[in-house]
Amino acid sequence: MRLVVVGGVAGGMSAAARARRLDEHAEIVVLERGDHPSFANCGLPYYVGGEIEREQSLLVQTPASLAAALDLDVRVRHEVTGLDAGARTVTVQTPAGTEVIGYDALVLAPGARAVVPPVPGIGSPRVTTLRTVGDAVALREAVTGPGAARRAVVLGAGFIGLEAAEALRLRGLEVDVVELADHVLPPLERELATLVTAELRRLGITVHDGVAATAVEQGADADVVVLADGTRLPADTVVLSVGVRPDTAPFEAAGVACERGAIVVDEHGRTNLPGVWATGDATVSTDAVTGVRRPVALAGPANRGGRLVADDILRPGTARPLPQPLGTAVVRVGSLTAAMTGANRAALDAAGTAYETVHLHPGSHAGYFPGAEQVHLVLHVRTGDGLLLGAQAVGADGVDKRIDVLATAMRHRAVAADLIDLDLAYAPPYGSAKDPVNLAGMIADNVATGTVRLWHAADLDDVLERAFVLDVRSPAEFATGHLPGALNVPHTQVRDRLAEIRDAAGGRPVRLHCQSGMRSYLALRVLAQEGFADVAHLSGGMLTLRAWLGGAAGAVLVVPEPVHAV
């Protein structure tokens, strides 16, 4: 049996390696158009920034090592340009010319290409992508070699864009990041993205969000990136990172069914053509939460998908189906980590899913042990049954493991109450007896069962117009900035000042808040049991509200004038 795999790296090489482990006698040919069949594409920005020192470290395997270990026939600089499914052949452009190669089974793992927007001047030689080892080597040379670049513009503030921006800043460059969406890391919720933006600015990176690049003006010594608001950004190098699209043109032309360029596969990776499978960034996946069909360009699903495709080719009776991806992802930005799994608000709204959102800001480990950092955590659960729909977090420590736990819980269709019962490892340097994941479950379960009602930062205008705001922080916290018209009653005084609160409310709904949500929850429970019918507290407290407001916080919050002694 001859198995031909088109494309290496994650999906293709995983399929080829698994196939060899299942069938020692199969002829397995991997056709890779680039120079490297197996490289650490997720490590490229770190090589540019110098954290990965050697280019060789990026090369996970070579054709020689794959031949020695797995007896794979790996052919680099071999680009597949045609497919004849009836004849079971592919047409390949090789260094020696055109070749036609037959197959018994074919795996398509062509990956994706960088999106190049129709911006005048985008073809400048100073504009580069960061998708291959060659890209990384050239960019590193441009920022460290003779006449090294001093100013860089990164177009796109997604995961790769921010990693590239940080790498260039580590090299000492002046860095501007341009993002068309309203905020950096567009899949991240607004109130968390604000924290990432602040960290980028702390690093000395200038952020231009909510604005498009309209031109790249080429110059003799440098280019200028022109923004829609008239800003002009000089650049010695421009990194293009505005997204990717499936690289499937020759296969779609040959009759492989595609949706918006992505290959349609069934639950085992089979295409509509007999003997042809596909995996990786170029395939359509069905979102596990919303059911939306789209490509998921992540290394984890591609690696696992390649393995499962090989199982179906060689063990079709026992192969497990491809799981629907949750889109779990993580990125480092300076001292912070941002991570997510499942759906965000925008995706849930688009899908018409009824949901509740909770915010919390627990410590990464026990507060009495030195070094604890806040984990800013957002959890979405389905209205009614509390089914976990999505989670995101930002913080300096402990973010990745909480999102991994929540991703695991979501894979097993856990509900909010299930998080309460998770038996997670605890010692003071590592966590708390009530882990942030347990706490998220407790809060979400309180909402699901009607024990508490929440209001959200997005409701602020409505709250200020029709509700009575009760701020249960300390007077010192109140003085740092409070909502207009708010009454300050510290949570420990609520029981003693019920009559005052009732009079001040004057029959209006009562909307409480504190700094993070805990004290306002305690106060809410007192008021709810003392006859206040319409009470809710702010999810995530003032920490979330300030992050939601971002730069507008100063115009919204009232800071009392200091009292000077006479």
A 10 A CB-CB count for 21 gives 12
Contacts of 356 (CB under 8 A, 6+ apart): 380, 381, 382, 383, 444, 447, 448, 454
The number of angstroms, rounded, from the C-alpha of 173 to the middle of its chain's C-alpha atoms is 25
| Backbone phi and psi for residue 467, each to the nearest 5 degrees, phi listed first | -115, 165
Name the token pair of 366: 């026990």
Is 514 a residue of the active site? yes
Name the token pair of 120: 């005048």
For residue 463, give the amino acid letter. Answer: V
Q: Which of these, 411, 351, 415, lies nearest to 379 by C-alpha position?
A: 415
Q: Give the DSSP letter string of 461-496.
A: HHHHHHSEEEE-S-HHHHTT-B-TT-EE--GGGTGG
Question: Which secondary structure element, helix H or strand E, spans residue 512, and what is its range?
Answer: strand 510-513
A 10 A CB-CB count for 269 gives 29
Q: Give the DSSP letter string of 68-91.
A: HHH--EEEES-EEEEEETTTTEEE
Burial of 61 (0-12, 13-18, 19+ CB in 10 A): buried
User: CB of 171 within 8 A of CB of 49?
Assistant: yes
| Helix runs in 114-157, H state only | 133-144
User: CB of 126 within 8 A of CB of 65?
Assistant: no
Greatest alpha-carbon span in the chain: 96
Question: Which secondary structure element, helix H or strand E, spans residue 253, and what is its range?
Answer: helix 249-253
Name the token pair of 428: 């003071």
Contacts of 411 (CB under 8 A, 6+ apart): 288, 323, 326
Q: Measured between alpha carbons, how far is 285 from 269 in angstroms, rounded to an integer?
A: 10
| Backbone phi and psi for residue 503, each to the nearest 5 degrees, phi listed first | -65, -45
**Annotated catalytic residue: which of 17, 70, 470, 514?**
514
Give me the active site residues, please. 514
